[in-house]
Structure 1
Amino acid sequence: MKNRRTMTRALLAVVMMAGLGTVQAQPAAAAPADGIRITHFLGERDLPHRAQFQGTVVGGLSGIDRDPLTGTWYFISDDRARYNPARYYTGKIDINPLTRRFEGVSITGVTTLLRPDGTPYPGYGQPEAADPEAIRFDPWSRRILWSSEGDRPREGTTGNPVVQMSLRWVDRGGHDRGGLPIPGNLTMTNTTSGPRHNAGFEGLTFTPHGIAAIVEGPRFEDGDIMTTERGALSRITVWDRNGRTRAQYAYPIDRLPAAPVPETGRYDGGVSEILAVDDDRLLSLERFWIEGVGYRVKLYEIDLRGATNVLGRDSLTGGAPYRAVTKRLVHDFNAGGATVQNLESLGWGPRLASGERVLVVGSDDNFDESEITQFLAFAVRDH
């Protein structure tokens, strides 16, 4: 997303909200009461604003991941060549597994992402420009998979050219090694069809046996964007490890958690990241920016089991009934009145001596002086 700006165990039975058209999704089976839960907050560490590293400006970090073999962390920048060409950084997130102390974050390397012809991606507003949003390190192939959100004119305008969203493999030198096939229903257009502007691939994860990616918000055919009265529908696409498209599932995005101030003010949001727990369960980060209110962010555990494969459906607002994925709230980052940053990334850290996993949540500062490149670390258990 380019716009600025107590844990609960409640189960959310997923149904489509009124106002999306005819009610189509049947209630899915309730998500299990047990699952991922946060046990401790391990701390926060920030990076300096617009820090310089090897001739680049560090910021806009919208995706993170960790190589479990070496402990190296990967951070992708969504800088669309405003400062430097599309790139990712490597570095360290130091969390002591014995003391649980979050000791710091540092950048140690930078790599330019290259097109298939070996050249850097062009800048914002140009054909074939990249909009990096998520990054994952594959421990099996030792390659990197990253997402570009794509681009299209805003509805009712003739602005930016159409650029297709993509999922591209690169080696650790940034050289392109091919991409995943993108379903035809996710084709960007300059009409009122396909994904909306700024609502393409935002979340990406490896499951034990596959790959999953989610678009941030609803396609035109899948209904309107969220309001304070109703939510919206996104789509999760799943591939196998050979790159064959296996399925798509409907994901119900929350309704807008607060009205803008003034009421005619702007807002934006949806799913900013996903992270696999296993083949069937994912964590999802829902993030909204609301004018006059700020950021509102929640972490959910979702379950694909029992959800209908909607890959062959052009619309989620008509036709035969179907089941969406189930959701269970894991954490409300705004609980207690906390001020929340533009949280856009999720990554698994090392296991603690207690056996708990470390979950790291990162923010994209939008290269804005009023925002922060922030990393939050939590200890979690899976029950």
Structure 2
Amino acid sequence: MRLRSAFVLAAVPAVVALVTVAGPVAPAQADVEAAGGSHACSPSVTINSFSDALNKTTFDNTFVGNLSALAVDTDGSILALADRSSLFNLDGRTKKPTKVVPLADENGKPLDSEAIVVDADGTRLITSEVEPSIRRYDRDGHLIAGSLPVPDALRVAPAGRATTNLTFEGLTMQPGDRTLIASMEGPLSGDEPDLHRFQTWTRPNPKADLTLGAQYAYRGDPGLGISDIAATGDGRLLVLERGFTEGVGNTVRLYLADPRGATDVSKVENLTPQTDTHLIGKTLLADIGKCPTLGATAKQPQPNPLLDNIEGIAVTRHEGGGRLRLLLVSDDNENPVQITRLYSLTATLPKR
């Protein structure tokens, strides 16, 4: 979902200046790393570097921005999904674009594409917030299968009880490629505020069709939405919670979530304080606003100039001992006062 203040929408011209690049992007800024001192954001998370090299650039006549999700492709490259129906391939080492493909629905219309998973066969499962939906595409962006089934309650009103632009913002696949999970950015009408539904699809093996599975409830921090999720490799999830306050800036927190023991709420119409359910457990790993700035600058008020509208997360490497290398990305909304920024972090997870 695009987060920006009403003031910014009113005051910023619709057209932004772009840096046009023929072929791979020439870095506007190299990766910036802390020169000595602590990289710690928390006891569990350190920030290694950030890069603004993609900010306000184009590749193959396509704006490189509006990035809402990341995934690691089968060849080790990075997929960066724009919510304006574009999918970029980024070099796994340099993070420079190497390819971009357009996306469309069955009628050739653009998507509000927010989250991506690379399936076992290399095809891409991509969400759109509009309905919401999850569709399957090949490596060249061609639609190759219809949408996955979605429970009626999760559809945008009046078809269901979801709010426009607060639907499938996160998507991940659990180890074994047999359980797909989508996270709702906001609560359903009739549910307790800050309770978000996580929908699963399951299959007996990676070659079978995905069918509707259990649904769980997760309590977000007050005022924050779920911007993305990522599987940790041991059945747990990383959850990005994010919000924006005009004149203050962004809040971004990284949580470790554990679905074990959570109640299947797929048949629970309204989640209220009286509902007898066990929620997905969560543990704060880091408030990204407490990371060292590494010299970052911001173009609008921020509690930490490193922050922006962070929307996507991917696990890029498992290093053993519970250590994960993470890549995060911010969505600039093609807004002059927002930045497309990549963040490299290392998280050390507690044992299950």
TM-score (norm 2): 0.78
| Secondary structure, counterpart of 1:323 in structure 2 | coil
- Among candidates 21, 37, 41, match of residue 47 of structure 2: 41
DSSP-derived class of the 1:221 partner: coil
Task: Say whether the 8 Å CA contact 1:46–1:373 is kept in structure 2.
Answer: yes
Residue 170 of structure 2 contacts residue 183 of structure 2 at CA under 8 Å; is this kept in 1?
Answer: yes
Alignment of 1:235 with 2:197, yes or no, is yes
Aligned position for 1:350: 317
Residue 280 (structure 1) shift: 3.1
Runs ≥4 residues deviating over 6 A: none
- Counterpart selection for 1:78 from 75, 78, 83: 83
Question: C-alpha distance in 2, partners of 1:323/1:350?
Answer: 31
- Return the offset for 1:379: 2.2
Task: Give me the whole-angstrom Cα distance separating, in 2, the residues matched to 1:219 and 1:343.
Answer: 23
**Alignment partner of 2:96: what SS?**
strand
Partner of 1:3: 3
Pairing of 1:152-171 with structure 2 (within 5 A):
164-171=131-138
Which residue type is aligned with residue 268 of structure 2? Answer: R
Secondary structure in 2 aligned to 1:220?
Answer: coil
Q: 1:320 to 1:53 in 2, by over 3 A?
A: closer
What corresponds to 2:237 in structure 1?
282
Q: Deviations over 1:247-270 (max 9, x none)?
A: 1111101113xxxxxxxxxxxx40
Please say if residues 186 and 194 of structure 1, whose CA atoms lie closer than 8 Å, have aligned partners that are also in contact.
Answer: yes
2:127 is aligned to 147
User: Which residue of the partner structure matches residue 259 of structure 1?
Assistant: none
1:27-66 maps to which residues of 2 (within 5 A)?
37-38=44-45, 40-66=46-72
Alignment length, in residue pairs?
296
Assess if the C-alpha contact under 8 Å between 2:313 and 2:328 holds in 1.
Answer: yes
Q: Distance in 2 between matches of 1:194 and 1:47?
A: 40
Superposed CA deviations along residues 18-57 of structure 1, whole A, max 9, x for unmatched, are xxxxxxxxxxxxxxxxxxx32x422111234331211211
- CA RMSD in angstroms comes to 2.2
Residue type matched to 2:171 in 1?
L
Which residue in 1 is equivalent to 2:19? none
**Distance in 1 between residues matched to 2:154 and 2:54, nearest whole Å:** 37
Pair 49,380 (structure 1): closer, same or farther in 2 beyond 3 Å: closer
For 1:338, the equivalent position in structure 2 comes to: 304
Change in CA separation of 1:320 and 1:373 when aligned onto 2, cut-off 3 Å: closer
1: distance between equivalents of 2:320 and 2:95? 21
Task: Please tell me whether residue 220 in structure 1 is matched to residue 182 in structure 2.
Answer: no
Matches within 5 A, 1:64-143: 64-67=70-73, 69-79=74-84, 86-94=85-93, 104-116=94-106, 119=108, 121-122=109-110, 130-138=111-119, 140-143=120-123
Give the alignment partner of residue 154 of structure 2, picking from 173, 183, 186.
Answer: 186
- Judge conservation of contact 1:116–1:175 (CA < 8 Å) in 2: no
Question: Residue 368 of structure 1: CA displacement?
Answer: 0.7
Q: Report what 2:329 is aligned to.
A: 362
What's the CA shift string for 1:201-249, capped at 9, x where partnerless?
A: 100001113100011011112134xxxxxxx111001111431111111
Aligned equivalents of 1:244, 1:355: Cα separation in 2: 31
Counterpart AA for 2:55: H
Q: Which has the higher strand share?
A: 1
| Aligned residues of 2:114 and 2:129 also touching (Cα < 8 A) | yes
Counterpart CA distance in 2 for 1:3 and 1:373 is: 13
Distance 1:299 1:355, change over 3 A: closer
In structure 1, the residue matched to 2:282 is: 327
SS where residue 360 of structure 1 aligns?
strand
- Shift in alpha-carbon separation, 1:333–1:320, aligned structure 2, 3 A: closer
Post-superposition Cα deviations, 1:350-371, rounded to whole Å, max 9, x if no partner, equal: 3459994311111111111111
Between the aligned partners of 1:87 and 1:54, the Cα distance in structure 2 is 11
Work out whether residues 115 and 175 of structure 1, in 8 Å CA contact, stay in contact via their aligned partners in 2: no
**Shift of residue 113, structure 1, vs aligned partner:** 1.1
Native 8 Å contact 1:149 1:202 kept in 2: yes
Relative to 1, partners in 2 of residues 1:42 and 1:353: Cα closer, same or farther, differing over 3 Å?
Answer: farther
**What's the CA shift for 1:180?**
1.3
Amino acid at match of 1:74: L
CA drift of 1:319 comes to: 5.9
Q: CA contact under 8 A between 2:154 and 2:162: conserved in structure 1?
A: yes
- d(CA) in 2 for partners of 1:318 and 1:288? 24
Give 1:115 deviation, angstroms.
2.6
Identity of aligned residues (%): 32
Tell whether 2:258 aligns with 1:303. yes
Distance 1:279 1:353, change over 3 A: closer
